[in-house]
Structure 1
Amino acid sequence: MNFKEELDKNEVFAKIRAAAKNLNLETYVVGGFVRDLVLGRVSKDLDFTCVGSGIALAEEVSKQFDFHVPLSVFKNFGTAMLKLEDSELEFVGARKESYRSESRKPIVEDGTLQEDLERRDFTINSMAISLNEGNYGELLDPFDGIGDLKRKQIKTPLDPEITFSDDPLRMMRAVRFASQLGFDIDPDTFYALSKNAHRLSIVSAERIIVELNKIIQTDQPSYGFKLLFAGKLLHEFFPEMVELQGVDSVDDKSHKDNFYHTLQVLDNLSLVSDDLWLRWAAILHDIAKPATKRFNSKVGWTFHGHEDKGARMTPGIFKRLKLPMDERMKYVQKLVRLHLRPIALVKDEVTDSALRRLLFDAGDDIDDLMKLCRADITSKNNKKVKRFLENFDKVEQKLREVEEKDQVRNFQPPISGEEIMETFGLKPSKTVGEIKEEIKEAILEGKIKNKPEEARQLMHQLAKQKGLVK
């Protein structure tokens, strides 16, 4: 199999060929670019391996351009990178690796192309295309990566027991590639994965979360989570999610399996949004159900307060998983806390006050909250689903009407604490806060309109009641 015509479409390869020839270095393009080329996918970043110094090759390639190309050299790793406008070129010398049991950092030595390809994670990433004069464009595929692409399977080039024990992050990558490509994991490879799941303990949370987020961002993230669960990987870093799995029954009354319900919500949401943090809200929306699960002989299973407890659990989960502890966490926390609120509004009779409070609490995230609530309808009863979604249509229409009328989505109190203090000659105090809060409540309850003149009138009435003026 020869890819000369495909390579000739990109002038970068001509420059690398020229540089390799100048240095008399045997050179290949390897890894993800080759895999994606076979699959007909676009791959902007290119990895090159040469039998010799990858740094020297990168330096020579940089001279082939008529303009300055930023060059980054990592001497400790023997690698170098050229950054073009729309892609990155990474260069490394062919190498072989050995590992110690307590670390996933390899001991690296110079090696042959064969040794370099066999150290890679999966057969579909262990292919190379020659950039050399004698066999330019020829595919080298010592581990039948082409066959595994056709079979749509993830398989290690060497014994998977050794591959995963040496570098346990490759187990996460196996699931990630299976999720992204819609492939199966080879049975022997998956058995070794599940057998070595405990080895994930030597991998940093930062590296794990990078792979997990890529799984979450796939078209059908439930597939990746099912593989993580079946392979016992999820148990190693996300026990709260594992605890969602299972069904309890008492007196013929059962609750649904909240693990698979969560995955269905995640998939439903993924059909309408690719926002990573909205998807995280779907993952965590029922995370506190195991902690709040109770059985009542009259009503069956209940999970009262799981939305509030889930919101309280969110910062701890984010911190442990090394997710960002900033506005993104607060966004997820807010949606977890509010995810039941719109369901309570699915009635023919709903007050404007309740709608105003939801708009006030959700703010600009109201549209995302409604997406989450719609995704949360997972009944197998199609008529029930249809009825709930139609009711949500009515709620959203009412929300639009109330927002247009009262403008509380980004509610800012029309009277500031500074104005209250200046008007009545007060210092910062509890009384100032009480007046602000009562004005806000009056607006949300619809007693006054969200206008400064009405708020000031109420402010003077409240001040008189509190004895601030005669």
Structure 2
Amino acid sequence: MQEHLQHPVFKTISEVSDLEGVKTFVIGGFVRDLFLERPTTDIDILVIGSGIDIAQKVAARLGKLKVSVFKSFGTAMFKYRKMEIEFVGARKESYNRDSRKPIVEDGTLEDDQNRRDFTINAMAISLNRATYGQLVDPFNGTGDLKQQIIRTPLDPSITFSDDPLRMMRAIRFATQLQFKIYDETFKAISVNKERIRIVSMERVADELNKIMLSDRPSIGFKLMDLTGLLDIIFPEMKAMKGVETIKGQSHKDNFYHTLEVLDQITPNTDDLWLRYAALLHDIAKPLTKRFDPTAGWTFYAHNHVGQKMIPKIFARLKLPLNEKMKFVQKLVYLHMRPIALIEDEVSDSAIRRLLFEAGDDIDDLMTLCEADITSKNRERAERHLRNFKIVRRKLKEIEAKDQVRNFQPPVTGEMIMATFGLSPCQEVGVIKTAIKDAILDGIIHNNYDEAYQFMIQKGQEMGLSIKDPS
């Protein structure tokens, strides 16, 4: 393994460790990713002794680097050449039933490896000169990497009961690495699923976000469903699962459709919130599902109801209640608009209105809508995608010609009141809306002169008189 430890920080740690007479190891994710040949910028250093002391001495030798010390956790960290290096003393942990915060004692290398979440994260490589590069792998993590298995080092029921967040971590690693969760480990998640309730939602959401940002997030949601965690963490998603049949007519399974949309959008965006829009675009279908004997299954206004559901979902998951949430709401509300356009001949007026409502988020909306095409009818799916290309082209043409994206009508409410001698009233809003609609419908161009003349005409139609300027 020595050829993989050429980064200068490893040599310096080795020298300082030997001078201080302590054993040190690189452990955890760095070692795992070394075998997987995945890039990593985080290095965890295990010290059989004081991690803080060794961190400070290594940092001083590397050039008086700034060290962040966390005494209550016994850890210290510094950055060096785009790498984040964290030092921790070996420890032994025990848990109380009602908390995932461990009682920590000083421990041995064996103690520390025993407390690790999964075998693939428990491998360590010695940094002391006499054993430099030697792998310590007591749980056959290398074997589990080859077999692509997620497995706990010790009894999984105890592992998950002690720290229930590890259940979400197991699913997250299975999703990111596209590994299988070992049968015994998988069963232990199902048995201990209720224990997830003692974990802060912030920590759960952090794992959920990592699942969302993986190459195939559907893996994680299917595993959460199979283990029963989905019912607890994301009941709105669970409610989407299943197919109902009445009089021989069935609707599609909206849970699996949603996961297909989510997987289809991932190659086209790394934006977490656009991915959340894909996850939540049909979230209100269970609430709006109705069977009409003549029309079949309907989900009337599910986009509108879904938009209203999002603040509650974001608040419970401790996701940001700011412009990120509003972005998701906006896309959920508008996600049916482009598909409606391609069903009919695309008019300039409809394109202007879509541009006006979507504003700067129009490209993200189109990306979502294209991912939403999951029809198994290949001809139909290809026709829809071709039509979306036409919509995208027309969006560019209309925007270049009319500049309606995020536009404000060139005649303001204050101008309307001044022209007709009005105080704030309903008539002002009617005229302002009429000007906006005239521009979007292509009746007038988006400029002051035409908008002003239209205002005069509309006011006179409503029986208003122009105020004498004198």
TM-score, with structure 1 as normaliser: 0.96
Structure 2 contact 420–464 (Cα < 8 Å) conserved: no
Counterpart of 2:61 in 1: which secondary structure? Answer: coil
Partner-residue secondary structure (3-state), 2:98: coil
Counterpart of 1:257 in structure 2 is 253
Write the distance in 1 (CA, Å) between the matches of 2:365 and 2:163: 39
8 Å CA contact retained: 2:421, 2:466? no
Aligned partner of 1:376 in structure 2 is 372
- Once the two structures are superposed, the pairs formed by residues 44-443 of structure 1 within 5 Å of their partners are 44-66=41-63, 68-424=64-420, 426-443=422-439
> How big is each residue's C-alpha offset from its partner over 1:373-432, in whole Å with a ceiling of 9 and x where there is no partner?
111111111111111111222222222222222211222221223433454555544443
For the Cα contact (< 8 Å) 2:175–2:220, is it kept in 1?
yes
1:418-450 CA distance string (max 9 Å, x none)? 433454555544443333222111111222111
CA apart distance, 1:105: 0.3
Which position in structure 1 is the counterpart of 2:10? Answer: 13
User: What residue is the counterpart of 1:26 in the other structure?
Assistant: 23
Matched, 1:454 2:450: yes
Deviation at 1:169, TM superposition (A): 0.4
Mean CA deviation greater in 254-263 or 430-439: 430-439
CA distance in 1, matches of 2:35, 2:343: 54
Letter in 2 for 1:362: A
C-alpha distance in structure 2 between counterparts of 1:424 and 1:84, whole Å = 68
Q: Which amino acid aligns with 1:21?
A: D
Distance (whole Å) between structure 2 residues aligned to residue 421 and residue 65 of structure 1: 70
SS in 2 for 1:89: strand
**Structure-2 separation of matches of 1:259 and 1:348:** 28
What is the SS of the residue equivalent to 1:49? strand
Gaps of 5+ in 2: none
Sequence identity (%): 59
1:124-159 deviations in Å (ceiling 9; x for gaps): 000100011221110000110001001100000000
SS of equivalent residue, structure 2 residue 268: coil
Using the alignment, how far apart are the partners of 1:429 and 1:62 within structure 2?
69
The Cα shift of 1:34 comes to 0.6
Deviations 1:201-251 (A, max 9, x none): 001110011101110111111111111111111111100000000000111
Q: What's the offset of the Cα at 1:468?
A: 4.3
Question: 2: distance between equivalents of 1:421 and 1:246?
Answer: 56
In 1: Cα distance, 2:413 partner to 2:110 partner: 72
Bigger drift between 415-424 and 293-302 goes to 415-424
Output the TM-score relative to the length of structure 2.
Answer: 0.96
Counterpart residue identity of residue 15, structure 2: A
Q: CA deviation at 1:456?
A: 1.3
Unaligned 5+ segments in structure 1 are: none
3-state SS, counterpart of residue 132 of structure 2 = coil
The one-letter amino acid of 2:105's match is: E
Query: Matched residues in 2 for 1:54 and 1:355: separation?
Result: 61
* Distance in 1, Cα, partners of 2:316 & 2:22: 46
SS at match of 2:65: coil
What CA RMSD, in Å, does the superposition of the two structures yield over aligned residues?
A: 1.5
**Range moving further from structure 2, 178-187 or 391-400:** 391-400
Q: What amino acid maps onto 1:22 in structure 2?
A: L
